Structure 1
Amino acid sequence: MQPINQTFLCSRKFHISSKPNLEVSYLIFIQQRLVSRFRTCHNRTQNPDSVSDDNHEFIRLPVPITDEHSAMNVKALEIQDLLKRTNGHNTIIEIEQALTRLKLILSEDLVLNVLRRHRSDWKSAYVFFNWVSNSSGYSLGTRSYNEVLDILGRMKRFVEVCQLLDEMSKRDKSLINERTYGIVVNRYAAAHKIEEATGFFYKRAVFGLDLDLVAFQTLLLSLCRYKHVEAAEFLFHSKMNEFHHNIKTMNIILNGWCVLGSLREAKRFWNDIITSRFKPDRFTYGIFINSLTKAGKISTAVKLFQAMWAKGCTPDVAICNCIIDGLCFKKRIPEALEIFKEMNDKDCCPDVVTYNSLIKHLCKIQRMEKVNELLKEMTQKGGDCAPNARTYGHLLNSAKKPDEVVKILERMERDGCKMMADTFNLILRLFMGWGDDKRVESTWVEMERNGLGPDQRSYTIMVHGFYDKGRLEEAMVYYNKMVSKGMVAEPRTKLLVDAIKIKLKDTDHKSDQKI
């Protein structure tokens, strides 16, 4: 191990940066994030049956355990490393035997910690879950089942989802709760399986759950979220007599048309609400205003916004945010700032979303003095106004060179703001675009260790990034890894891969001709 003030991990296959000071700064920053989460030992006992990873050398960070949470993270990291080394190389039986040799003291928090590190790797998550399920002396709880159901559903593994639901029902029906129902319905809707989602709603009785309005609204919400609004509205009308609908149910359908981007249908349903026995509430106004702003009808949206004040239906912060973002998008930033000022005057306190809307658009036009002023204000106010990952995402998007990214991440760290999967992917895209292989690798490693990827977007960034740089073989390596994990490539990525295969074939053919 090499001490650079503190220890860090290195990769053998990437080139050393030509800017050593900046490189060390970024490496130390990433390492400090690892230190805050994990502790490992210099003399870690190696598992003789595990498969080593020849591509990377991980240097363990000697940080003392200070509490139970840190100890759990260490164990979870050890399991994660084992699953990573054995995945694709060993049989399920061999992996289970290796897990058994760890002699773990299982708890639901540990199981959840491991599962959440494999949200984008359903195979490893499912192997670990089944091993835990078959372990003597430990009984899985509802939260663990729900977590793995969500992972499987995200990857469209519905055969396994049904098997797990049967297992839960046979073992104890009380394991299936409202959270379970919401996860399964949402994943069916996301996979465009409308009949299955609707069918699962009617299976609630089998699982001992009531067929009530709240559950029906959950079904409609999931269908609308994934743009099956027509089906949701059909169900709404067909079940009019079965459930005592309220304005919330109508708001769900209205919001569905808004999400779909159909202003014509949104207007039609808005008129249905106005002529119905239900009185529009603040959420109804907010949804329709959002629909108008998304359709570019910001002037009409502002008029409706002003009418709310006149009618005594005070807009909430979400509606104000919608208007501010719409005005900023239309480059009417002075008007947006005026509404921002009025919010404080009218006791409608702005939140982090308000600030983020302004910062996003101010970054685009490089009004960085105003951005820093707003950031300072957010930090001082704290609470609902404290900067979040999205705030720093806007700042990162405006970065022009690697050292700016490092400074933004250091500020993010100081403010105690947690990195999200989107943040990692954004950083990955930036460093990939700049051709900074060292930092790409460092970001990838930390993303894995935080359980925030790599996901389908991460692999897509790598495939397209390597293609743009003419590194076709490396692009195919990441594409094949993505497919092997059960991830479905975007249509544009599939087209790109087809082009890569043709180019590689042509290159091989030319090489054969020379020989």
Structure 2
Amino acid sequence: LPEFSFLCLNFTDSLHMANPSSRVVRQLLLPNKPISFFSHLCRHFKYPQSSQSLSLLRTFASSPSSSTPQEPDPIPLSLSSELLKNPDSEPLPISQRLHLSFSHINPIPSLVLSTLNLCPDAGRTVLGFNHWLISKTSFTHTDETLSYFVDYFGRRKDFKAIHEVLVNGVGLAGPKTLESAIDRLVRAGRPTDVVSFFQRMEIDYGLKRDKESLLLVVEKLCGNGYASYAERMVKNLAKEFFPDERICDLLVKGWCVDGKLDEAKRLAEEMYRGGFEIGTMAYNAILDCVCKICREKDPFRLHSEAEKVLVQMDVHGVPRNVETFNVLITNLCKIRKTEDAMKLFYRMGEWGCYPDETTFLVLIRSLYQAARVGEGDEMIDGMRSAGYGGKLDKKVYYGFLKILCGIERIDHALSVFKKMKEDGCEPGIKTYDLLMGKLCAHNRLDRANALFNEARKRGIAMEPTAYAVDPRYVKKKVKVVKSQKKRETLPEKMARKRRRLKQIRLSFVKKPKRMMRRAY
């Protein structure tokens, strides 16, 4: 069709005739300066010069770029289609088929990664692809390419295939492969296998077993709440790798991630008795754990319990950092204590701390949720002036719009949407769909139609979608009741006659002229 417009399908007549209580109205979408805040912020913070130039080309699955997407490379497509074929229906194994069809190709790491990303359902056939790569004289596995295969099979939780890949790449695996293998085992919920992997990785796979690799394993285990396995592992290896303060801080953090505050305090006391000092990271983890427990059990005790942890930090001479304030501000915002979070934000400079992007984003979301949209906009401007404007990407703006639409501030959502485009963030399908759905719910069809046409002009493939109008915003038809002439009763008739007769009698009486004075 040459033009696109909204077609409003009003089913009120037919549905009202069938069921007067059910009235549905649906629309079918068819193709057709914040100086005060900045000056206040400058009095509290002196931002260091930061030359951050972050790329805005981050992947946002729901927001494709408005430019025409580039066609994928045909070589990875051909390789992936060959890998996705049913091996039972083919007479030759996959390695021989690849050797016959792709012998002229010289593989490179980017080609390997693209091929693996295009065939997530190939399964064990990818092992044949690995054998074909090993047989190529022009290709040599590196630590990076081995990590691609480990990540691929780790997503499928096929750890036997990972074992085979690592055995075939003995002497080639390095830190990237080790990190991928440990990460996949931990995320699959196999802490016992992680410990045994570390014990035998030097003999079986040629991976270096040193203190840095131990630190990596402890970090992965503690980050996912397996502090008991990590602590037992560190104690068993204490004679070989004596733990330092970094490992001890990670263990305390692991117990806090697991929600076991008593174990974290017990380990902290053991560290002090052993001559170690707890760092800021461990205290931040304890503080976060205390705040989470208070939020679940008694939010009114959050202030007092958090103050106890902060006093302990001051007693032991542990300085606060921006992460300490982020923990407090985040937990205050989660219990809707936005005003207290703002007061804490303005006091950060007293401890020599400066807000980072996390601080600003948490406060902006909380201010919008509290319907303090003006202060939220000022905080966005303050974030830009602090040098973190590059963090305002499509995903962040989409979160702002979702909050504003959720509290029925659609006009302000449109103004934030305008800022989003001014900042160079290209909105995608999800962003337009969110705004158009809310506009249609408010029965503002002209504005929604304009957004639809704008998306089409930007090259975004918008599909026809049906949106329901909120019954609160439906214009109700006023029923005009025809007035029927009622029969006059006898008393009413007699009263009307008396009034009329009185008017007739008075019409013959000479009226005195007003404003006339007697002449003397």
Q: Could you state the TM-score of these two structures normalised by the residue count of structure 1?
A: 0.60
- Provide Cα deviations, 1:224-259, integer angstroms capped at 9, x if missing partner: 233322222222223333321112111111111111
| In structure 2, C-alpha distance between the alignment counterparts of 1:34 and 1:86, rounded to whole Å | 32
Shift of 1:323: 0.9
Match of 1:233 in 2: 231
2:306 to 296, 301, 306: 301
Match of 1:126 in 2: 126
Shift of 1:176: 0.8
Matches within 5 A, 1:159-238: 159-169=160-170, 173=171, 175-206=172-203, 207-238=205-236
Q: Is 2:29 the counterpart of 1:18?
A: yes
Would the alpha carbon gap of residues 80 and 397 (structure 1) be closer, same or farther in structure 2, given more than 3 Å must change? farther
- Identity rate, percent: 21
2:371 to 366, 370, 384: 366
Shift of 1:124: 9.7
| In structure 2, C-alpha distance between the alignment counterparts of 1:121 and 1:200, rounded to whole Å | 26
Query: CA contact under 8 A between 2:202 and 2:208: conserved in structure 1?
Result: yes
Query: CA contact under 8 A between 2:154 and 2:181: conserved in structure 1?
Result: yes
Q: Which has the larger radius of gyration?
A: 2
| In structure 1, C-alpha distance between the alignment counterparts of 2:432 and 2:197, rounded to whole Å | 39
Shift of 1:209: 4.0
Q: Is 2:289 the counterpart of 1:278?
A: no
Query: CA contact under 8 A between 1:122 and 1:151: conserved in structure 2?
Result: no
Would the alpha carbon gap of residues 123 and 372 (structure 1) be closer, same or farther in structure 2, given more than 3 Å must change? farther
Q: Is 2:408 the counterpart of 1:397?
A: no
| In structure 2, C-alpha distance between the alignment counterparts of 1:188 and 1:221, rounded to whole Å | 13
1:35 to 59, 63, 67: 67
- Provide Cα deviations, 1:114-148, integer angstroms capped at 9, x if missing partner: 44566x65649937953655556333332121022
Shift of 1:389: 5.9
Which structure: greater helix fraction?
1
Shift of 1:110: 3.4
- Provide Cα deviations, 1:4-47, integer angstroms capped at 9, x if missing partner: 99xxxxxxxxxx951657xxxxxxx98970627x334xxxxxxx
2:346 to 341, 346, 355: 341
Shift of 1:372: 2.0
Query: CA contact under 8 A between 2:77 and 2:118: conserved in structure 1?
Result: yes
Query: CA contact under 8 A between 1:258 and 1:288: conserved in structure 2?
Result: yes
Match of 1:318, SS? helix
Shift of 1:417: 6.3
Would the alpha carbon gap of residues 139 and 348 (structure 1) be closer, same or farther in structure 2, given more than 3 Å must change? same
Would the alpha carbon gap of residues 399 and 331 (structure 1) be closer, same or farther in structure 2, given more than 3 Å must change? closer
| In structure 2, C-alpha distance between the alignment counterparts of 1:383 and 1:129, rounded to whole Å | 44
Q: Could you state the TM-score of these two structures normalised by the residue count of structure 2?
A: 0.60
Match of 1:261, SS? coil
| In structure 1, C-alpha distance between the alignment counterparts of 2:256 and 2:426, rounded to whole Å | 31
Aligned residues: 377
| In structure 2, C-alpha distance between the alignment counterparts of 1:184 and 1:298, rounded to whole Å | 39
Any gaps of 5 or more consecutive residues in structure 1?
Answer: 6-15, 22-28, 41-73, 440-515
- Provide Cα deviations, 1:93-117, integer angstroms capped at 9, x if missing partner: 7996699479766322333344456
Query: CA contact under 8 A between 1:378 and 1:385: conserved in structure 2?
Result: no
Any gaps of 5 or more consecutive residues in structure 2?
Answer: 5-26, 33-60, 295-300, 442-450, 452-520
| In structure 1, C-alpha distance between the alignment counterparts of 2:64 and 2:156, rounded to whole Å | 33
Query: CA contact under 8 A between 1:257 and 1:266: conserved in structure 2?
Result: yes
Shift of 1:280: 1.5
Match of 1:148 in 2: 149
Shift of 1:364: 2.6
Match of 2:73, SS? helix
| In structure 1, C-alpha distance between the alignment counterparts of 2:357 and 2:84, rounded to whole Å | 41
For 1:258, the aligned partner's letter is C
Match of 1:490 in 2: none
Would the alpha carbon gap of residues 387 and 99 (structure 1) be closer, same or farther in structure 2, given more than 3 Å must change? farther
Shift of 1:418: 9.7
Would the alpha carbon gap of residues 102 and 328 (structure 1) be closer, same or farther in structure 2, given more than 3 Å must change? farther
Match of 2:159 in 1: 158
Q: Which has the higher contact order (CA 8 A, sep 6+)?
A: 2
Match of 1:331 in 2: 336
Would the alpha carbon gap of residues 195 and 383 (structure 1) be closer, same or farther in structure 2, given more than 3 Å must change? same
Match of 1:331, SS? coil
Match of 1:484 in 2: none
Matches within 5 A, 1:394-433: 394-398=399-403, 400=405, 415=423
For 2:29, the aligned partner's letter is S
Q: Is 2:383 the counterpart of 1:386?
A: no
| In structure 2, C-alpha distance between the alignment counterparts of 1:99 and 1:289, rounded to whole Å | 61
Query: CA contact under 8 A between 2:288 and 2:327: conserved in structure 1?
Result: yes
Match of 1:483 in 2: none
1:79 to 72, 76, 80: 76
Query: CA contact under 8 A between 1:356 and 1:390: conserved in structure 2?
Result: no
